Structures are given as C-alpha cells and as structure tokens.
Amino acid sequence: MPLLPIDSEIEGANFGTFEMRELFSDGAYLQGMLDVEAALARAESRLGLVPTAASDAISAAAKVANLNLGYVAASTSTVGYPVIALVNELGRVAGDDAARYIHLGATTQDITDTSAVLQIRRAFSILHRDLVATARALGTLATRYRDTPIAGRTHLQQAVPISFGLKCAIWAAPLLAHLERLDQAARRVLVVQFGGAAGTIAPLGPHGVKVMEALALELNLGVPLGPWHSARDGFAEVASILAVICGSLGKIALDVSLLTQSEVAEVSEPHEEGRGSSSTMPQKRNPISSEYVIAAARGVHALAPLMLTAMIGDHERSTGAWQSERLALPECFVLTAGALRRVRSLAERLVVDPARMRANLDADGGLIMAEAVASALTAAVGRAAAHEAIERASLCAVRERKSLRQALLDDEKVRAQLSNVDIDRVLDPVNYLGAAGEFVDRVCAKIAELK
C-alpha cells in the first residue's frame, strides 16, 4: 500500500492527476537520467571525445525497459543514489566498447539535477495549459455575470454590492500573473547542470565548458554561468511559485465553499450522482472539490519551506540539503496539478444562482446600501452630516425592524434632500457597482490575449 495518498490507487485522484504523477514516477525519473546520459554521449561525440559508434549504442540502449530494475533498486539502497547502477546497466546493454564512454566527466548530481530540470519543463507545460484554461473559464463567468449584483463581504459580513463578474475576475487575475511567473522562472531554472565532482569538470581538461554547452544544446536547455550543485535557488523558486499558485487556487475554493453554504447558496459545485454525498445525511451536497483544493494548497504550503531550507548547504556538495528536495518537489507538483484540475472544473461548470444573490442582497432590508445613501447625501449636506443621517436611519431600521427604505422615508431630514424616486434609485444595488464592470473588462481583455 502506498504511504502517501497522492500515490494511492484509491485516493490518488483526489489529490493529484495521473498525468503529473506519471511524470514524476520511478519510470519517468529513470528515463530522464537515461536521456541525460545519452545526450551527454552525443554532445561529447560531436566534440570528438566519444566515438560515434559508442554514442549511437548508448542512445539506443538508453531505455528504462532495458534496465534490471531490481538491481537498480538494490544498488540505490546501498549507494544512496541510482546513478551508479543506472550507468552500469546502460553499459551492460550498450556493450563494453560503448560502456567506457558513459558518464564521461559527469557526477551523480549532474545527471539527477538535469533530469529533474527536464521533468520541471514538462510539468511547467502542463501547468501552463491548465492555468490558461482555468483563466479562460473564469473570464467566461466574469463576462456572463459582469453586471450581476452580489453582496460583497468583508469580515464575513455583507459590506457593499459588487458584481459576481468582478469576483470571478479577481479570481482570474492572479492566474495571469502566475503564467508570467512560470515563464520568467523557466529562463532561470531550465538550464543544464554539468560541473563534475566539485564544479571544475577537470577530467575533460579544456573541453569542459564546451561539453556543458553541447549538452545544453542536445537537451534544448539553457546554459548556466556555472554549475549550481550548491546553489539551489532555482528549485526553491519553483516550489515557491507552486505555493503561490496554490494560494490563489485555495482562495477560489474557499470562496466557493462559503458561497455554497446553505444559508448563502449563491453557487454550487457541479453535481454528479453521489458526488459530495454524506454517509448519514442524504440531503447534503458537500463542496468536495473545493475541500480537496484547500487540502492540496495547505500541503504545498507545508512542503515549500523544505525546499527553502535545502538552499542552505555546505560547501560544493551539501550533506542532506539537496537530497531533501526529492521529498518535496514531486509532491508539490502533483498536489498543484490536482488542485488546478479541480478549480478548472469548477470554473467550467459552476452552478450560479443570480436570484439567490439578489435575495441575499435584500435580506437585511437594504442596509447593505447604507454607503450608497451616504454618498448620495454627501453632495447636498456634506460628509459628516450625511454619515450622521444614514447612521440614524440604519439604527432606526434595526431597532424597529423595518427596511432602510422605510426608515429613510420616515426621516424628515433625509426626505428634505432625497425624493422617493431618489431613494429607490440609490437603494438599487445595480446602481452601485462602481467600476466593477470596467475591472471585469480589463481582466478579460488580458485573458483574451492568452495563447
């Protein structure tokens, strides 16, 4: 049985996606290292350091299916890393003539780090795709409900009207920034690692830097200024970006959860037979997707600090710091992918109830429009007098359990400034959405530019 739910056949779909789990599976991990070893042989062959026949044999042999995985596992348990066994197995399959040229000038961390970079590149592509799809789905909601009023809530209490479209646009806006963050990080992180034992590539003599550059070209990766065995800021940045992405996804999920409460009921998650059911309360439809998004976000937020601590390593190869990255980074990616998939589904299929939104706006008898009334009065009597008048009317409405409209109609000082028509206009939430529509348009215009 798997120790972690993300690897479970039973619970795995709740916490991740098959696509991302497969990317960080043992098979993908080993194949990535084989790809690096093969690319290294080709790069060195182009520079005349490895015979073409040997390079071809190494590339042909570099397939996980050719490995004795039992031997690799046993060796890794003893050595601590799979690279020695992987090199031995690759040499066995490629043949003795080619085996002597495998891993030429490299060290274990060159292979594991560059393989991890290849995984990150593919993972970034997956996240980019789903972030774009989620932003577009939220943009569709924002456009559809651009002018649909809903109670804006601060401190869990109704504050002033906003539009549901604005809420969706505010959900979407950080996703646009996250796409920029991924693109910016890619330029820094998607670089080859090649430094040899302690960063000098001394066994390759004058060819070391040329081999590093040729290896980067083979793998379509960037060329770093130097080896980064002990400079782990790139991987720490990746984990931090994943944590920030999950923060935005978790905020959306929390808002959706609150909006689905029985007493609010302004939206609901997409319904499927049996989804979100309770074992004892058959009437319930729990916000199950939102719950797992929040759980995944909290998981990534707990793991990101481990990546940050891995930056603090000793000398040219740390004792335990960079090794801990293997504990955190794959899980961060899997949890982020799972959370993003769920939010994308929510955005594409969210059930929205504008009538309930309006009913909730009216539930307090119009008190949510107090600021709007004060704004209308300010032009006539000044801010202080307007504030005093609306506070008086609001207290009267609460004390006497009547609507704010009636309290305003009963207030002679207010009636001296606002007619019945004025009061009705000011109390309509549709007329007090301010720049909500403009903000929606600005966000949706940016979403429309996505590729």
SS3 351: strand
Residue 263: partners with Cβ closer than 8 Å, 6 or more residues away:
none
- Tokens representing 188 are 């820094």
- Tokens representing 153 are 């809530």
Answer positive or negative: Cα dihedral of 232, 238, 239, 244: positive
Residue 89: partners with Cβ closer than 8 Å, 6 or more residues away:
66, 67, 68, 71, 72
- Tokens representing 416 are 């001296």
- Tokens representing 219 are 């793998």
- Cα dihedral 432→437→443→446 (10° resolution): -160
Q: Name the H helices within 233-272.
A: 233-259
The single-letter DSSP state of residue 195 is -
Residue 289: partners with Cβ closer than 8 Å, 6 or more residues away:
253, 269, 342, 343, 345, 346
- Tokens representing 80 are 């601590």
Catalytic residue among 121, 122, 298, 317: 317
- Is 317 catalytic? The answer is yes
Among residues 390, 360, 371, the alpha carbon closest in space to that of 149 is found at 360
Catalytic residue among 125, 278, 383, 442: 278
Q: Facing residues of 352 across strands?
A: 267
Catalytic residue annotation: 278, 317
